[in-house]
Amino acid sequence: MVDKAKIYQIPGLEDGRKADEPCTIVIFGASGDLTVRKLIPALYHLYIDGQMPESFRVVGFARRKKTDESWREEMRAGIEKYSRTCNVNDSQWQSFSENLCYHCGDLTDAVAYDALAGRLAKFGDSQLSRNLVFYLAISPSLFGEVVDQLHTNKLLKRYEEGAAQWQRVVVEKPFGHDLKSAQLLNNHLIRHARERQVFRIDHYLGKETVQNIMMFRFSNAIFEQLWNREAIDHIQITVSEDIGVGSRGGYFEEVGTLRDMMQNHLLQIMSLVAMEPPPSLEAEDIRNEKVKLLKSIRKMTPEMVSKNVVRGQYFAGTVNEDARNGYRQEERVDPESNIETFVAMKLFVDNWRWSDVPFYLRTGKNLPHRASEVRVQFRPTPNVLFAAQDNLDLHANALTLRLQPDEGISLRFNGKVPGNSIQTRPVRMNFGYDAEFGAYTPEAYERLLLEAMAGDATLFIRRDEVETAWQIVDSIREGWGEIPLSNREFYAAGTWGPVAADDLLKVDNHLWHTPVPANK
pLDDT of the residue at 387:
58
Does position 11 have pLDDT exceeding 60, yes or no? no
- In this predicted structure, which of 118-122, 219-223, 268-272, 418-422 has the lowest mean pLDDT? 418-422
Residue 461 CA from chain centroid, whole number: 10
The confidence score (pLDDT) of residue 6 equals 37
Helix or strand or coil: residue 158? coil
Beta carbons of 356 and 501 less than 8 angstroms apart: no
- Bridge partners (DSSP) listed for residue 201: 172
How much of the chain exceeds pLDDT 90, in percent? 72
Q: Is the pLDDT of residue 130 over 50?
A: yes
Helix (H) or strand (E) holding 413: strand 408-416
What mean pLDDT comes out for the span 40-54?
93
The tens digit of pLDDT for each residue in 67-105 reads: 999 999 999 999 999 887 767 889 999 999 999 999 999
For residue 40, which amino acid is it?
I
1 pLDDT band, cuts 50/70/90, is: very low
Indicate the helix (H) or strand (E) that contains 236: strand 232-240
Residues comprising the chain, all counted: 520
Question: Which has the higher per-residue pLDDT, 313 or 458?
Answer: 313
CA distances from 410 to 144, 169, 315, 374, 394 (A): 44, 38, 33, 11, 18
> Residues near 413 by Cβ (< 8 Å), separated by ≥ 6?
397, 426, 427, 429
Q: How far apart are CA 357 and CA 513, in angstroms?
A: 17
- How much is the CA Rg of the chain, to the nearest whole Å? 24
SS3 505: helix
pLDDT(437) > 80: no
Position 112 pLDDT exceeds 90: yes
Predicted confidence (pLDDT) per residue in 382-427, tens digit: 866 665 566 666 788 999 999 888 888 999 988 777 877 777 778 8
Arithmetic mean of pLDDT over the chain: 89
pLDDT tier for residue 211 given thresholds of 50, 70 and 90: confident
Q: 438-473 in b/e burial notation, b at 16+ Cβ within 10 A?
A: eeebbbbbbbbbbbbbbbbbbbbbbbbbbbbbbebb
Helix axes of 463-480 and 267-274: crossing angle, nearest 10 degrees:
120
Between CA 476 and CA 483, with CA 481 as vertex, the angle to 5 degrees is: 115
DSSP assignments along 303-369, one per residue: HHHHHHEEEEEEESEEETTEEE--GGGSTT--TT----SEEEEEEEB-STTTTT-EEEEEEESS-SS
Per the CATH hierarchy, to which homologous superfamily does domain 205-377+463-506 belong? Dihydrodipicolinate Reductase; domain 2 (3.30.360.10)
Q: 56 with 22: CB under 8 angstroms?
A: yes
CA dist 39 and 75 (Å) reads 10
Inter-residue contact 51 to 17 (CB < 8 Å) = yes
Q: At what angle do helices 143-152 and 110-121 cross, to 10 degrees?
A: 60
User: Any residues with CB less than 8 A from the CB of 460 and at least 6 apart, and which?
Assistant: 199, 200, 201, 202, 205, 448, 451, 452
Residues labelled catalytic: 265
Cα 470 to the center of its chain, rounded Å:
16
Q: What percent of the chain has pLDDT over 70?
A: 92
Across 107-111, 115-119, 384-388, 465-469, least confident range: 384-388
Residue 520 has pLDDT above 60, yes or no: no
CA atoms within 13 A on the CB side of 125: 14
Q: What is the pLDDT of residues 167-203, one digit of tens each?
A: 999 998 889 899 999 999 999 999 999 999 999 998 8
Query: Could you tell me if 143 and 171 are in contact, meaning their C-beta atoms sit under 8 angstroms apart?
Result: yes
- Give the per-residue pLDDT at 468: 97
Under DSSP, is residue 110 helix (H, G, I), strand (E, B) or coil? helix
Q: What pLDDT does 423 receive? A: 74
Answer whether CATH 3.40.1160.10 is correct for domain 23-172.
no
Model confidence at 8, in pLDDT bands (50, 70, 90)?
very low
Q: Quick check: 470 pLDDT over 50?
A: yes
Average pLDDT rounded to a whole number, residues 35-52:
94
What is the three-class DSSP state of 443?
Answer: coil
Q: From residue 121, give the alpha-carbon distance in Å to each of 30, 77, 129, 130.
A: 20, 29, 5, 9
Is the pLDDT assigned to residue 519 strictly greater than 60?
Answer: no
Residue 65, burial from CB neighbour count under 10 angstroms (0-12, 13-18, 19+): exposed
In this prediction, residue 441 carries a pLDDT of: 61
pLDDT at 390: 62
Q: Tell me if the pTM is above 0.75.
A: yes
Q: Whole-angstrom Cα distance, residue 293 to residue 217?
A: 16
For residue 101, the tally of other CB atoms under 10 A from its CB is: 18
Give the SS3 label for residue 250: helix
Average pLDDT over residues 291-301: 96
408 alpha-carbon distance from chain centroid = 17
Q: What pLDDT sits at residue 57?
A: 96
Domain locations in the chain as residue ranges: 23-172, 205-377+463-506
Amino acid making up residue 412: R
Does 500 have pLDDT greater than 80? yes
